[in-house]
Structure 1
């Protein structure tokens, strides 16, 4: 999924991790999930690489997931493990930072405790 003007596509977990950390969002830490490296935000798994496919896992509602899978099957995929969950896999080398950044930021905000987020937003205003 190429949007045109972006830098290199993200090709592996290390690059995804570096990109996610470059967003400068607080309350993010290195951790593990299911014995594999991940980033946690607010204590919850936030960024990780699928153990089933060479792909990153992103949150995605079911309707959008179906649209993305139909529109760009070279970029997006779904492993049966994730079928019942609101996630989509984005293949290595096809992760556009312009697409990933807003999704990661939105997910980070959704994971934040509401009172903490309100105070953080107020401090940035």
Structure 2
């Protein structure tokens, strides 16, 4: 089993290693992040030691109930669908699946269809 991702530099390097097109470094609200297709894709919370991934409140709540030491929350994110994963607890397989799924969800449908057709 590989070591979990511990911090933003590791998460950033891991996400970029997936070599997905249309991913770029960005800064939002003074904090570094990665955007996919011009939209926030993943970043590190400035409030607690945790990575932030897009998801839904229902999924976040289920994950938090199943593994509260891994999936955490901060008051700032309670009313969002964002999923926070504690630094040092981010499983690489989980992160890869989440990042790939979110990357596809953020892609414009027409662009994605063209990309899929040329990537086979």
Q: Does the alignment reach a TM-score above 0.5?
A: yes
What residue number does 2:68 align with?
Answer: 73
How many correspondences in the alignment? 120
Displacement, 1:18?
0.4
Q: Give 1:46's aligned residue.
A: 41
- Once the 2 structures are TM-superposed, how far is the Cα of residue 63 of structure 1 from its aligned partner? 2.1
Other-structure match for 2:115: 120
Uncovered stretches (5+) of structure 2, i.e. residues with no partner: none
TM-score by length of 2: 0.96
1:45 CA displacement: 1.1
Deviation at 1:78, TM superposition (A): 0.8
1:10 aligns with 2:10: no
Please name the residue that 1:62 is paired with: 57
The separation in 1 between residues aligned to 2:50 and 2:18, in whole angstroms, is 20
CA distance in 2, matches of 1:109, 1:73: 27
Structure 2 residue aligned with 1:88, among 59, 75, 83?
Answer: 83
Query: RMSD of aligned C-alpha atoms?
Result: 0.9
TM-score scaled by length of structure 1: 0.92
Q: Deviations over 1:56-104 (max 9, x none)?
A: 0012222221221111111111111111111121000000011010100
> Offset at 1:117?
0.5
Structure 1 unaligned residues grouped into runs of 5+: none
